[in-house]
Structure formats: structure tokens, C-alpha cells
A and B are shown apart, each in its own frame.
Chain A
Amino acid sequence: GAVVSQHPSWVICKSGTSVKIECRSLDFQATTMFWYRQFPKQSLMLMATSNEGSKATYEQGVEKDKFLINHASLTLSTLTVTSAHPEDSSFYICSANGLAGTYNEQFFGPGTRLTVL
């Protein structure tokens, strides 16, 4: 149980285009999902916290108009990188936990490798 999927697993796009990444909890309802970005040989940096039915909360320094997050259902959150540029190339990972108001183990998706040419 507690499986999180991401789609696509990798994507290559041209500079200036937008890319959407989906994160799904397959066998549980995720009231909260998190989006991380990881550059090569660096740690995972939290970008935003996404709660079902409400606006995402972005970490300091993350542009909310560039990284659009939608959490329309208890099993799906999407991250759209708008007007992508080469510096947005990174490994994007989502995670999900199940219970609102308490902390449970976060279950990570397999990640999406974004390359912007």
C-alpha cells in the first residue's frame, strides 16, 4: 500500500514551453501533497505544500506564478512549470501523506526528470 506515482518519468522540452507533471496517490487519499526539486548532487528542496481544494503554500523564493500547483482531488496533484528555461532543468519529486492534522510517513513518487533545451 501507500503507492505514489508520477507522470511523466522524464520530459524534454524547448525553452519557453510549459510542462505539466502529475502526482497520484494510487491506494490512499492524500490530503496533503508536497513538491520537491532536486538539482544534481544536491538535497531535496521543498517547493510547496499542496492541500486538496485549497491554494498551495509556496516556500520562500519559489515563484508561484511560474510553478503552478493544483490539487483538485484527494488523489491527484499537478505541478505546471510555465515558460520553462534551462535553469528549471531538475528532478522534481512529489510526496503525499494521508492524515490531515497529524504527521505520517511521507510517500514519495518516483520523480520526474525535466530537461529544458
Chain B
Amino acid sequence: GENVEQHPSTLSVQEGDSAVIKCTYSDSASNYFPWYKQELGKRPQLIIDIRSNVGEKKDQRIAVTLNKTAKHFSLHITETQPEDSAVYFCAAVNQGGKLIFGQGTELSVKP
């Protein structure tokens, strides 16, 4: 089955700096890669996603890149703000529709 590895587990940056979170997946048939932001005690919130036929996608300060050959995908947050502090999860969906999450990255943005 699919396995998603996420790094780093914790990330601390200064406000205004960039943050990068990286994930790898094992199932080459996976075709959809969403990223979620989860605040304590709340549901995961979709912040950006990318499909396997696209290499890069950007939405304001957030961008995601996908390297299908290497089975890597990354989240880039620029100009970080304290409200970006949360746990971020990458995920991969295979053709069976199952959403498999990475281990999560706790992002702390220091003012």
C-alpha cells in the first residue's frame, strides 16, 4: 500500500522567512496530493493541492511542487506570518481513493 514520509517533524522560522516541507510517496499510481493545515483540536483544512499531471501550483504565498519521477512533493510558504503556525500534513491519494497522510510538520513562526 501507499506510504507517505514527511520531513521535518518540526520547523521553526522567523516571521517573514520561507518554510519548506517535503514529502515522498511510495505508490507510483497515486495521482492527487493535497496539503492540509490543522490547528489544535480542529479538522484538517485543505490549503493547496496538486494533481499528477501538473508539476507546480501556486496560490498567493503558498506553492506546491511535484516530481513524479522521484515521487517527491513539497510545500513552500513564503513571507510566513505567526498565523501560519500549525501542523501541516501532506497526503497522497491513489486510484482507490484512499487518502494517506504523512506524519505531519509542526510549524512555528516566531514574530
Residues of A within 8 A of B (CB): 32, 34, 42-46, 49, 91, 93, 95, 97, 103, 105-106, 108-111, 113
Q: Is the interface of A mostly helix, strand, loop or mixed?
A: strand
Considering only CB atoms and an 8 Å cut-off, how many residues of chain B contact the other chain? 20
CB distance from A84 to the nearest CB of B (A): 20
Give B4-44 as 1s and 0s: 1 = Cβ < 8 Å from A's Cβ atoms.
00000000000000000000000000011010000001111
- Asked if A44 and B32 sit within 8 Å, CB to CB, the answer is no
Q: Is the interface of B mostly helix, strand, loop or mixed?
A: loop
Q: How many pairs of residues, A versus B, come closer than 8 Å at their CB atoms?
A: 43
Which residue on chain B has the smallest CB distance to residue A108? B43
User: Which residues on the A side are within 8 Å of B98 (C-beta)?
Assistant: 34, 46, 49
A42-B103 Cα distance, complex, nearest whole Å: 7
